[in-house]
Amino acid sequence: MSGPAPDLYLSPGPHIRRGRTTAEIMWLVNLSLAPALVWAVLVFGWPVLGITVSAVLGCALAEQLACLVRRAPSTLPDGSVVCTGLLLAYTLPPGMPLWMPFVGGALGVFFAKTVFGGLGYNVFNIALVARALMMATFPVEMTTAWVEPDFGALAAVDALSGATPLVSLTGGGEAAGAAIVGTPEGMAHGLAFFLGLRPGSIGEVSVLLIGLGAAFLLWQRIIKLWIPASVIAGAALLAPWSPDPVLYLLSGGLWLGAFFMATDYVTSPSTPKGQVVFGLGIGLLTGMIRNWGGYPEGICYAILLMNTLTPALEEWFRPPRSAAKGTPS
C-alpha cells in the first residue's frame, strides 16, 4: 500500500449531505431583505441605517452574552440573530432614537430566544417579541416617529411628520381613509404604496421590494407559498370591513409579516395543511385588530398569537404516510 493507513472517520451514514446549511439559509434570508433596506435609506435617509445597525447590534449582544454564559461557541455566524435584528428594524419608524432599537433588540433576543435555549427552541417570533416589547416601552416613539419620504433627504432628515396611512385609518375612520386614497389621484396613490413612496416603517414601505425578496426566497425554495398566501387570503377576507380595502391590503407590515415573519421555520408549522390554517389565522387576526382594534397594525400580534398554536397545528396536521393508505391493486 502506498503510504501509511489513513486516520478514518467512522460516523454513520448518510456520508454525504445536500449543500445548504442552516447558516446559508439564514444569510440568504438576510440577503433577500437587503433591497428593502436600500430603498428605505434612499427615501428616508441615513438614520434608517443607524436604526438597523443598532437593532442588529442589540440582538447580537444578547446572543453573544448567552453564548459566553453557556460557555458555548458563538452562534453569531449562523446569521439568525442578524436576521432577527433586520426584521426588528424593518418594523420600526424611521425617526426613532438610535438607542431604542438596541435596547429592544437585546431584550427581545434575551426573552424570546436565549431563555428558551437559542436557535430552534424559541416559541415566538423573536423580532416580533422585541417589537411588542418596544410598543409597550416606547409607545410615543413607536407610533409617531414617522418620516415623509424625500429623495433629497439623504443628508439630513427634518422633523417628524404626521401619521402613517394606517394610523389615519384607525384614528379617523372612513373619513381619513377617504382623505388619503379616495382622491382623484387614488390610483397614483396606490402605486405610491406599492413602491414605498409614503410614510411607514423602515422595511414595510415598499410592497414591491418586499415582494422581490420574497420571490428570491420562493425561487431558492427557502420558503413555500402556503403561509404567505394564506396570511394575505385571511386578511383579504376581512378587507370589506376596512374603510379602504386597497390601502388595507397594500400597506403596513402585511407583506413583510406574511413572507418574512410568519414563515419563520421555528415558530410555524411544517406541514402544508398546518401552514394554511396558521396563515389564515394570522390573516384573520390581523384584519380583526386593524379593523376593530386600537392598534393601527395588527400583524405583529396576530403572528405572536398564532405562534402559540404551532405545536398544536403540527400535532393536528401530520404529513400523510405513504404506505398507510393505498391498497394493493
Q: List binders of another protein among 230-259 (CB under 8 A).
A: none
Select the residue interacting with another protein from 84, 168, 268, 286 (CB under 8 A). 268
Query: Binding to another protein by residue 328, rule CB under 8 A?
Result: yes
Cα 231–chain centre separation:
13
What is the CB neighbour count within 10 angstroms for residue 178?
A: 14
- Could you say which of 24, 141, 148, 150 contacts another protein (CB under 8 A)? 24
Q: Which stretch binds another protein (CB under 8 A): 8-16, 156-164, 178-186, 276-284?
A: 8-16
Q: Residues 94-133 vs another protein: string with x where CB under 8 A?
A: -----------------------xxxxx------------
Radius of gyration of the chain from its Cα atoms, rounded to whole angstroms: 22
22 binds another protein (CB under 8 A): yes
Window contacting another protein (CB under 8 A); options: 6-14, 45-53, 99-107, 201-209:
6-14
Q: Which of 43, 23, 26, 27 is nearest to 203 (CA)?
A: 43
Minimal distance, residue 24 CB to another protein, in Å: 7
Shortest distance in whole angstroms from residue 320 CB to another protein: 5
Stretch that binds another protein, among 18-26, 63-71, 148-156, 296-304 (CB under 8 A): 18-26
Contact of 182 with 80, CB cutoff 8 Å: no
Q: Residue 151, interface with another protein (CB under 8 A)?
A: no
Q: Could you tell me the smallest distance in angstroms from the CB atom of residue 291 to another protein? A: 31
Return d(Cα 202, Cα 39) in angstroms, integer.
9
Site for another protein (CB under 8 A): how many residues? Answer: 47
Min dist CB 127 to another protein, Å, is 15
As measured in angstroms, the least distance from the Cβ of 303 to another protein is 15
162 binds another protein (CB under 8 A): no
* Smallest distance from another protein to CB 10, Å: 5
Q: From the CB of 1, what's the least distance to another protein, in Å?
A: 5
For the CB of residue 269, give the shortest distance to another protein in the complex, in Å: 8
Q: Verify binding: residue 14, another protein, rule CB under 8 A.
A: yes
The interface region with another protein, picked from 1-9, 138-146, 236-244, 253-261 by CB under 8 A, is 1-9
Contact status: 322 vs another protein (CB under 8 A)? yes
Binding residues for another protein, rule: CB under 8 A, are 1-3, 5-18, 20-22, 24-25, 78, 117-121, 265-268, 270-271, 314, 318-329
